[in-house]
């Protein structure tokens, strides 16, 4: 298929189990190509495997600690002004012209200026932390402990990666799919006002005693099902499995994949009635009904499976889901 990235090989979902964990296919170069990570100003999108490691090793373990502060911050953040997408603007140009467009378009200049401002803001904090650690080490004292994303990225990323790039990259992969997911979920709930009271009752019952924290959120089964069903009907992309081949290999059907090829798998199976009962219909209780059955392992929002690839699937499924 011809795409804004060039030719892409679209595989059927029946091949997902075969390719989901292939080391010959890599997610991060696909992100870099998709978001112009090779161009100045778009460095946060450059391929990095450390981001997934940081999320799995540090962020996921700290969820309970940060659930309530993030909730409080989100209440204020929803009033922020949404900016234009420079990535989308550059996609209007053929790949060969994108470096030139990036150099002269005013919106691209604004992107580079914004990135510089972020770097200038974060760098003094990182330098101060490093100096504090050095002073402690020189005195033979324990280093001060910083338990946040800046520190986690310093542990996982290469030393030459700018800490601001890491923070922007983390924010981007969190904000965009979450925004799409919440928008679609609220749309579905608005279309089905009969859900208002059951959802309110569940939230009041589960969160009423202790408020918001990780364990309680896991008990919001109806809300979890509503979000997952919304994601099934309208995933963030027509392909949530995008990879770039990092070496030549051959699939079991004889198809030869060459290094550099874009390899996608579509999400048509999410709407296939042979996979899901009454697949064209929104069933808010679909995944509630799977709890406690032999399909319990695919019933949770955070679960991935060949049948539901809202968060991708396999070796490089979304680590922050």
Domain borders along the chain are 2-298
SS3 123: helix
Task: Tell me: is residue 318 an annotated ligand-binding position.
Answer: yes
In the CATH scheme, what is the code of domain 2-298? 1.10.630.10
Q: What is the pLDDT of residue 241?
A: 81
Q: What confidence score (pLDDT) does residue 161 get?
A: 80
pLDDT score recorded for residue 79: 47
- Residue-by-residue pLDDT tens, the chain, 321 positions: 777 677 888 887 788 888 888 888 877 777 777 777 778 877 776 666 556 666 666 666 666 666 667 666 666 665 455 455 788 888 889 888 999 999 999 988 998 998 899 889 988 988 998 899 899 989 889 888 888 888 888 887 777 788 888 888 887 777 778 888 999 999 999 999 999 999 999 999 988 877 777 778 888 999 999 999 999 999 888 777 888 898 999 999 999 999 989 888 888 888 999 999 999 999 999 999 999 999 999 999 989 888 998 888 887 777 777
Which secondary-structure segment (H or E) carries 196?
helix 196-207
DSSP character string of 222-270: HHHHHHHHHHHHS-SSS-SEEEEESS-EE-TTS-EE-TT-EEEE--GGG
Phi, psi of 249 (to 5 degrees): -160, 170
CA 75 – CA 87 distance, rounded (Å): 27
DSSP-assigned letter for residue 82: P
Burial of 270 (0-12, 13-18, 19+ CB in 10 A): buried
Alpha carbons 56 and 41: distance in angstroms, whole number: 27
Among 74, 57, 60, 67, smallest CA distance to 216 is for 67
Output the six-digit token pair for 73: 């911050």
pTM of structure: 0.67
DSSP secondary structure string for all residues of 67-87: HHHHHHHHHHHTTSPPPP-HH
Q: How far is CA 31 from CA 34, 87, 209, in A?
A: 5, 12, 42
> Strands 6-11 and 262-265: what pairing?
parallel
Q: Which residue reads 């064209």 in tokens?
A: 280
Residue 58 structure tokens? 């540090």
């Amino acid at each position: 298929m011809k795409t804004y990235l060039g030719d892409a090989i679209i595989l059927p979902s029946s091949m997902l189990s075969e390719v989901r964990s292939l080391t010959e296919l890599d997610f991060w170069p696909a992100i870099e190509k998709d978001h112009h990570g090779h161009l100045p100003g778009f460095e946060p999108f450059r391929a990095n495997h450390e981001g997934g490691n940081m999320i799995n090793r540090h962020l996921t373990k700290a969820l309970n600690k940060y659930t309530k502060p993030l909730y409080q911050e989100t209440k204020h953040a929803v009033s922020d002004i949404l900016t234009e997408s420079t990535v989308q603007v550059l996609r209007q140009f053929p790949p060969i012209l994108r470096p030139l467009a990036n150099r002269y378009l005013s919106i691209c200049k604004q992107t580079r200026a914004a990135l510089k401002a972020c770097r200038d803001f974060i760098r003094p904090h990182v330098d101060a932390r490093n100096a504090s650690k050095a002073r402690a080490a020189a005195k033979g004292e324990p280093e001060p402990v910083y338990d946040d994303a800046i520190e986690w990225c310093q542990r996982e990323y290469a030393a030459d990666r700018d800490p601001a790039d890491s923070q922007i990259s983390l924010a981007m992969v969190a904000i965009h799919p979450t925004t799409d997911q919440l928008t679609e979920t609220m749309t579905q709930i608005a279309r089905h006002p009969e859900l208002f009271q059951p959802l309110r009752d569940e939230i009041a019952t589960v969160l009423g005693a202790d408020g918001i924290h990780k364990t309680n959120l896991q008990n919001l089964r109806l809300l979890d099902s509503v979000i997952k069903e919304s994601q099934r009907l309208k995933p963030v992309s027509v392909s949530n499995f995008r990879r770039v081949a990092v070496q030549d290999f051959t699939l079991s059907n004889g198809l030869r994949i060459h290094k550099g090829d874009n390899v996608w798998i579509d999400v048509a199976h999410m709407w296939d009635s042979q996979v899901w009962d009454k697949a064209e219909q929104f069933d808010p209780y679909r995944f509630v009904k799977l709890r406690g059955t032999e399909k319990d392992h695919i019933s949770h929002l955070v679960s991935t499976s060949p049948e539901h690839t809202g968060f991708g699937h396999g070796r490089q499924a979304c680590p922050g889901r």
